């Protein structure tokens, strides 16, 4: 999750995640990610929501209204902010262990906090995933084990070439 300003011992994005996840689930949506970007007196809070088959603008608008009320009631975001609700896009972020499990067999791009096989930037086929880590067939380094705690950021990488060849990515 994107960091941001701290409120007590938790980041704003963590607080928002805890408050918004139940609201998203009530609407049949998954809260994929939260980004909080403080900008002086006016900040931006982005929520990325998804569901199998995708989300509509109406879905996002409905959740946005309800989330805004919940966040204001809990005073979860300091100062003034703009709330943006969006789909995570085609190259969605992978954050939770379940995300990695769901995308096994797909192409991913991973950035780690410490180098693995000499690099912090890995990309290739996600071979396996569990609660502790992932295994990736990196394009230039071969098969690598990556502990989840070492992952700073990870994204699914849609394979447009496979799609054009008639395959699924």
Over the stretch 95-150, which tens digit does the pLDDT of each residue have? 889 889 999 999 999 999 999 999 999 999 999 999 999 999 998 899 999 999 99
CA–CA gap between residue 54 and residue 97 (Å, rounded): 21
| pLDDT value of position 162 | 63
Check: CB of residue 145 under 8 Å from CB of residue 133: yes
The pLDDT mean for the chain works out to: 87
**Percent of residues, the chain, with pLDDT higher than 70:** 89
| pLDDT value of position 159 | 74
Check: CB of residue 106 under 8 Å from CB of residue 125: yes
CA–CA gap between residue 111 and residue 120 (Å, rounded): 5
CA–CA gap between residue 141 and residue 163 (Å, rounded): 25
| pLDDT value of position 129 | 96
Check: CB of residue 29 under 8 Å from CB of residue 21: no
More confident residue, 17 or 161: 17
Structure-token pair, residue 117: 């096989």
* Domains in the chain, CATH or no CATH each: 6-86 (3.30.300.70), 97-164 (2.30.30.100)
CA–CA gap between residue 138 and residue 143 (Å, rounded): 6
| pLDDT value of position 161 | 67
Containing 64, the helix (H) or strand (E) segment is helix 57-74
Average pLDDT over residues 52-75: 91
């Amino acid at each position: 999750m994107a960091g941001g300003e701290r409120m007590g011992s938790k980041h704003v994005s963590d607080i928002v995640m805890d408050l918004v996840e139940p609201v998203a689930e009530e609407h049949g949506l998954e809260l994929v990610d939260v980004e909080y970007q403080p900008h002086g007196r006016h900040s931006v809070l982005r929520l990325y929501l998804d569901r199998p088959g995708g989300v509509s603008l109406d879905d996002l608008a409905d959740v946005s209204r309800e989330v805004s009320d919940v966040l204001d009631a809990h005073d979860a975001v300091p100062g003034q902010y703009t709330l943006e609700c969006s789909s995570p896009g085609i190259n969605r972020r992978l954050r939770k262990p379940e995300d990695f499990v769901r995308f096994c067999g797909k192409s991913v791009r991973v950035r780690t906090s410490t180098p693995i096989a000499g690099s912090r930037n890995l990309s290739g086929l996600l071979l396996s995933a569990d609660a502790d880590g992932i295994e990736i067939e990196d394009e230039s380094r071969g098969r690598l084990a990556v502990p989840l705690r070492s992952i700073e950021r990870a994204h699914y990488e849609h394979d447009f070439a496979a799609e054009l060849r008639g395959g699924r990515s």
